[in-house]
Amino acid sequence: MYVIPPEKSAEFVSNMEDVLEIYHRPYDPNCPVICMDEQPIQLVKETRLPLPAKPGQPEAHDYEYERNGTANIFMFTEPLSGWRKTVVSERRTSVDWATEIKNLLDNGHWYRLARSYKRCNTRGSRNQANLE
């Protein structure tokens, strides 16, 4: 994990220590550590067909492209069990983020857990208040 901390931020350091403590917990199937990240992406399409491969040379691609919209990818993973899930959305809003967290907890195999911990390590508009 690579994060540039704000200067002189005790709150940032405290939050990062909480996250690192969670990452060092041993695997417990009754209290899984689920990580989530999101990434906005630009959708592109080729403007020319690739030139076919020749003996000893791979297929040749032109690097020109046409912009074809944007999307957002949510990635959920439970690293110690090997589980992962990817969701693609059209937008990147706090409502979309909160909806995906709710779907994860309501429809995933974690709904049966006796306890859950919410820990949001994020910047910008994504925070724990969006879940409440």
Q: 104: which residues sit within 8 A by CB, 6+ positions away?
A: 34, 36, 76, 85, 110
pLDDT tens-digit series, residues 35-79: 888 999 999 999 999 999 999 999 998 889 999 999 999 999 888
Entry pTM: 0.66
Q: Would residue 5 count as lying in a domain?
A: no
Q: What is the 3-state secondary structure (H, E, C) of 13-51?
A: HHHHHHHHHHHCCCCCCCCCCCEEEEEEEEEEEECCCCE
Q: Would residue 114 count as lying in a domain?
A: yes
What's the structural domain count of the chain? Answer: 1
Q: Would residue 54 count as lying in a domain?
A: no
pLDDT tens-digit series, residues 8-41: 678 878 888 888 888 888 988 878 888 888 999 9
Domain that holds residue 110: 31-47+63-122
> Cα 6–99–40 angle (5° rounding)?
55
